Amino acid sequence: MTEHPEAEIYKRQGMGNRAGLGARPALVIVDFVVGFADPAHFGGGNIGPAITETVKLLAHARARGWPVAHTRVVYADDGADAGVFTRKAPSLLKLTETSPLSQIVPELTPTRGEYVVRKQGASGFFGTALAAWLTQRQADTVIVTGCTTSGCVRATVVDAMQHNFRTIVATDCVGDRALAPHEANLFDMGQKYADLMSRAEIEAAT
């Protein structure tokens, strides 16, 4: 990525430093489900290519025995657990447990021992056991992939940092339905919440 034209503002204020990779990474894959892979529903933009790159990073994580968690947005069939989030985006109510749209894309199908987090909000951590699961497995670094960059990825990244995990955004493994919010949120996360690394950089460092 080329340097953002306003990066100097953040540098002057002491932002944009690196937290670095720890010794025990975990991979968190946010909402790469069928509905978000399909532009006719929730997808579009660069989500497809991000899934393709995540397939490679997932293989790397599995080969090294990292903890792996996948998140899904899942609502009750009758919407009984729905909140304000679905007032902003009522189409999310289609993502029920058995809906084809809410199923993890086949190329990222979880294997034995990988945690599938069901959530009703944006963050993979909010109202879930994800932080406890990662802590039990002694993870000190959370590498985040998924979609959308400006939505559930960002919320998950902020919460990962707030749980004191070193947090890495795999830049070519996250995607959004529109590229402008994708780029803006990558920049902002890199200044305040996470380190930005490409898939190749993560693999070379681990």
pLDDT in tens, 19-64: 999 999 999 999 999 999 999 999 999 999 999 999 999 999 999 9
Catalytic residue among 152, 174, 194, 197: 152
Q: How confident is the model at residue 16 (pLDDT cuts 50, 70, 90)?
A: confident
- What is the mean predicted confidence (pLDDT) over 5-32? 91
Domains in the chain: how many in total?
A: 1
pLDDT at 108: 98
pLDDT-derived band at 7, boundaries 50, 70, 90: confident
Position 136 in a domain: yes
Q: How many CB atoms lie within 10 A of CB 51?
A: 22
Residues 47, 146: contact at Cβ < 8 Å? no
Confidence at residue 2, expressed as pLDDT on a 0 to 100 scale: 61
Residue 147, domain member (yes or no): yes
Asked if residue 134 is part of any domain, the answer here is yes
Confidence of residue 8 (pLDDT cuts 50, 70, 90): confident
What residue has token string 């894309």?
105
**Average pLDDT across the chain, whole number:** 96
- Over residues 178-202, the mean pLDDT reads 97
The answer to whether residue 37 sits within a structural domain is yes
Task: Kindly state whether residue 108 falls inside one of the protein's structural domains.
Answer: yes
13, part of any domain: no
Q: 67: domain range?
A: 21-72+104-205
User: pLDDT over 70 for what percent of the chain?
Assistant: 99
Tell me, what's the pLDDT at 11?
87
Q: Could you tell me if residue 84 is inside a domain?
A: no
Residue 8 in domain: no
**Got the DSSP string for 111-127?**
-TT-EEEEESSS-SSTT
- Give Cα 124 distance to the centre of its chain: 8
Whether 173 sits among the annotated catalytic residues: the reply is no
What CATH number is associated with residue 53? Answer: 3.40.50.850
CA distance 186 to 153: 10
Q: For residue range 170-188, list pLDDT tens digits in order.
A: 999 999 999 999 999 999 9
Closest among 137, 155, 106 to 26, alpha carbons compared: 137
User: Can you count the helices (H) and strands (E) in the chain?
Assistant: 8, 6
Q: What is the DSSP letter of 194?
A: -
Q: What pLDDT does 18 receive?
A: 94
CB contact set of 48 (below 8 Å; sequence gap of 6+): 37, 175
